[in-house]
Structure 1
Amino acid sequence: YSAEQLPRSDIGDYIEQRVKATQPAGTSPIAVRLVTNKQLAMVVPPPIRATFCAAARELPGGIVQRDPLPEAIEYTSKVLCLFQEVNGLWVLLFIVYTQEYGADAPACNRARAYIAYVDSIAHWQPCSRRSAAYKEMLVGYIDWVRLRSFRRVHLWSAPPQEGDSYVLWCRPQHQPPPPPRTQHAWLRQWYHSIARGCEALG
């Protein structure tokens, strides 16, 4: 098995080169692969459609025109995986689930991307460059969608609740989960550093 043999993609190659640029010479081989890229539709429940609208605008005479939400909103679901060869074996170390709403989506979601799930394993080599690699994976994705006319990226920053396994079920013994309060503060700070990196790119 080799992650390098998985099909390549433009987005995977773009992010892979960015991640490689954060690592010192001689770092073990890495691969970024787009493993899911499919069109899905989110069904909008009737109570939501009855309460909210896709957009509203005021017309002459103070009349407010509301655009109703559709019964379903289409989006592209992507899963990006970052692998590294560790001791001769390819290991999945970082995974990102995203939802992309294009130019044809309702105004409330148009040109928006959502980073829905992020998870990682602490086996990156060298460990001192692990955070840089994982941050660049997200910065690279955000820059990729920006270059494709997406205008907003939303990121859920709360950690999983105690007892939840999140995406990756197995963790090394040297990666115990921190207490929830500590983890939340650390995650928020980590995501803020990613936002600053994105701001620097424009």
Structure 2
Amino acid sequence: MGKTVLDMSISVDGFVAGPNETIDNGLGDGGQRLHDWGLPRDADGRYIEGRGGEIDAAMMAAYESAGASVCGRGTVDPAGGWGGDAYDGPPVFIYARRPPRSDELRWSKFTYVDTVEDAVGRAREKAGDADVVVQGAGTGQAAIAAGLIDEIQLHVMPLLLRDGRRLFDLPGGVPTELDLIDVRQGVALHLRYEVRR
């Protein structure tokens, strides 16, 4: 069985989205910059074909080889379902605390579930021996709190957003111990940790 990996691009000061998040500004002000390591853009904001450096390309390829993905509505809704039926990635299990709209149910690769445990469990079943990638601050926090994350992979961009949505805004509880298992430097600093059990 593969690992369940929380995989997030993040600023040096711990934000995964900038301020002023809306459905039309899903990563908030300046937040798109967090993903330039894997999805580089030109000065006009258009995506550049091909990828940046070798390390960043390898990290993106590993991400794209996931067997299934888990995220919340705060990740998938602003992205417009990554094109809905045109989405060509792995199956996505969406942890949704409110029911999906009827038009969202038509997307064959998206399954809405109402608990993070069910989302991760179904994703693991679907992924088989491949990894499950967990995305989004709320879903990531819920999965950590439920003890469902095996590893955390962070793509740290050299950027201070100063405000926005923090990834590790976890309330109380017992500290989560991590062991550093991989470090790679590309446009982003790629860090991978194993969660101690």
The structure that is helix-richer by fraction is 1
RCO higher in 1 or 2 (8 Å CA, sep ≥ 6)?
2
TM-score interval for Structure 1 and Structure 2 normalised by the shorter chain: under 0.3
TM-score by length of 1: 0.24
Q: TM-score, normalised by structure 2?
A: 0.25
Q: Rg: which structure is higher?
A: 1
